[in-house]
Structure 1
Amino acid sequence: MPQITIDYSGTMENAFDREGFARALHEATVEIAAAKPEACKTQFRPSAYTAFGYEDPGARGHAVVHVTIGLLAGRSDETKARLAETALELLRKHVADVAFSVHASAEVRDLDPSYRKFDR
């Protein structure tokens, strides 16, 4: 915990500073949600195919990025909202200006009570 997943359009590959974003998001998660730095884990999942509205996907005029942050239960709605807003601010800083539209969203949710983990 926290479990962070970033799904993004592959068209953003060269415009997305993933390393810088992950570091900044981990720091924000520690500050805002009282997570331990060593507990922050992020996976980036590029998508080869993104469809947007009725646009021909081959036009590649839009890109999508969605940040999901899973935390152990107990954080207030205000804390979760602040972390989601911060994630969006950080995306603005870590995605370069591009010739296509970028649609970004973030969600902070409680991990299910069944959540378990192990470390080796």
Structure 2
Amino acid sequence: MPQITVDYSDSLADGFDRPGFARALHTAVVDIAAARPPACTTQFRRTEDTVVGPDTEGHAVVHVSLGLLAGRTEETKARLTEAVLDLLRQFVKPGGGLAVHASAEVRELDPSYRKYESE
């Protein structure tokens, strides 16, 4: 915990500093949501096809989903999603005049959530 997934358009691959974003996001999650630094995990998933409205050209999408254990206030969740959007503005630098559609959500992990770590 937290489980972070970042879906992003293939057209952003060269202009998205993913390692820098993940490090900054982990710091924000620790500061805002009181997560433990070693517990922060982020997966990036590049998507090949992006369609926004009727168009396929000139648009790119980034969506960040954060799964946290229950107990955070709505205010904390809102602060965290705003921090995510601010970080995306810093770490996503699209080329070629792409319109970037960025979004973020914080959700509570189901009570059945479990994890293990192997060494």
**Quick one: which of 99, 111, 114 aligns to 1:113?**
111
Check if 1:65 corresponds to 2:65: no
Q: Structure 1: state its 5+ residue gaps.
A: none
The percent identity for this pair of structures is: 62
Per the TM alignment, residue 51 of structure 1 is displaced from its structure 2 partner at its CA by 1.1
Q: What is residue 102 of structure 2 aligned with on the other side? A: 104
Distance 1:67 1:97 in 2: 17
Alpha-carbon separation, structure 2, partners of 1:96 and 1:64 = 12
**Residue equivalent to 2:52:** 52
Structure 2 equivalent of residue 8 of structure 1 = 8
**Aligned pair count?**
117
Runs of 4+ in 1 over 2 A off after TM superposition: none
Mean Cα displacement is larger for which, 89-98 or 103-112? Answer: 89-98
Q: Is 1:82 equivalent to 2:79 in the alignment?
A: yes
Which stretches in structure 2 are left out of the alignment for 5+ residues? none
- Alignment correspondent of 1:35: 35
Summarize deviations over 1:4-58 as a string: whole Å, max 9, x none. 0000000000000001000000000000000000000000000011111111x2x
Q: 1:48 to 1:97 in 2, by over 3 A?
A: closer
Provide the secondary structure at the position in 2 that maps to 1:51.
Answer: coil
TM-score by length of 1: 0.95
